Structure 1
């Protein structure tokens, strides 16, 4: 059985970016190694990066979203996640939006949080280990 991992926005961006082929290969490997999930928040952020940074046509972004949603679950953010995120923000000092993702990962039983933005190997709430696959 694969460990469950929450996937942050930047990992998805590398899947669809042609500029970072090494990171793209590493990002693809994540999906083979873990049972992956993400949140609707991440898909919003991904779409925004595709529009602004990658300059992808809207139809291609829609196709990418379909691919991602067919590959694994994207959980919603509810009031309990928001409150949990505020507690994590107070305790750890991460940005609020990072805490929303961390709270989502914790609430859905993830063992790993895959991102390049947070401190590699840091453990949150004695349950969730941040993993930067690019270090």
Structure 2
């Protein structure tokens, strides 16, 4: 595994969901080993899914976010990141939010997403 890698929301969901234990094991190893990076967008998406789909209570989500952010590097994004995301949408037909995650990963020199 490279030194730096960017985690998508799905990895966090697998780590905190009990529905697929094998995927949870893999997600936890990615989350807790190496230098993982996530964006505020990933935290927002994670929070929404935990509340709406997993039906977790707000305090449980807050605890999960504290745990996640204690072992990952959290990055934001800028207007330039958003503009690059739109270019990725145009060239690669990505959805905007997927392109924004890819653009943020590229901006933070993460070779693996």
Structure 2 length-normalised TM: 0.94
**Aligned-residue offset at 1:32:** 4.9
Equivalent residue of 2:12, what SS? helix
Q: Contact 2:9 / 2:42 at 8 angstroms: preserved in 1?
A: yes
Corresponding position of 2:74? 74
In structure 2, how many angstroms separate the alpha carbons of the residues matched to 1:69 and 1:27? 15
User: For the aligned residues, what is the CA RMSD?
Assistant: 1.4
Unaligned runs of 5+ in 2: none
Q: Which residue of 2 aligns with 1:63?
A: 63
The one of the two structures with greater contact order (alpha-carbon pairs below 8 A, sep at least 6) is 2
Gaps of 5+ in 1: 114-135
User: How many equivalent residue pairs?
Assistant: 113
Q: Select the structure that is richer in helix.
A: 2
More strand by share: 1
SS in 2 for 1:112: coil
Q: Deviations over 1:13-55 (max 9, x none)?
A: 0111011111000111213554110100010000000001110
In structure 1, C-alpha distance between the alignment counterparts of 2:77 and 2:12, rounded to whole Å = 19
SS of equivalent to 1:5: strand
